[in-house]
Amino acid sequence: MSIDRKAAIAAYKERKTIAGIYVVRCAASGQAWVGQAPNLETIQNRIWFSLRQGAHPCRSLQAAWKAHGEAGLAFGECERLEDEESAYVRNALLKERLLHWRDELKAEVV
């Protein structure tokens, strides 16, 4: 294995993940769904994959996907959290901010 490859693998393992709150909106229906994620950079792929498979646990979001398709839904970030050393503190903050954004956007939690 080359030194460059080893360095790339090490950098990948040490990268910082950005936790936060996201929103999925349906322009046609006006509906919105909010959720929390330990990694905002990967959550959209996870959501879209489960929706494509017809397996997303949120029935109303899955129904919007079925009715309007991928082009009918938009993904956005509401808030990024500062890096927390403690997973407990990060998780508590995510829950608190999720409730704030749910109320602010009059959205359903996914």
Task: Give me the amino acid identity at 4.
Answer: D
> Which CATH superfamily includes the segment(s) 18-109?
GIY-YIG endonuclease (3.40.1440.10)
Using one digit for the tens of pLDDT, what is the confidence trace for 67-98? 999 999 999 999 999 887 788 999 999 999 99
4 in helix, strand or coil? helix
Q: Which residue has the tokens 């769904």?
A: 33
Q: How much is the pTM?
A: 0.85
Residue 8 has pLDDT above 90, yes or no: no
Contact (Cβ atoms closer than 8 angstroms) between residue 85 and residue 8: no
Using one digit for the tens of pLDDT, what is the confidence trace for 16-45? 789 999 999 999 999 999 999 999 999 999
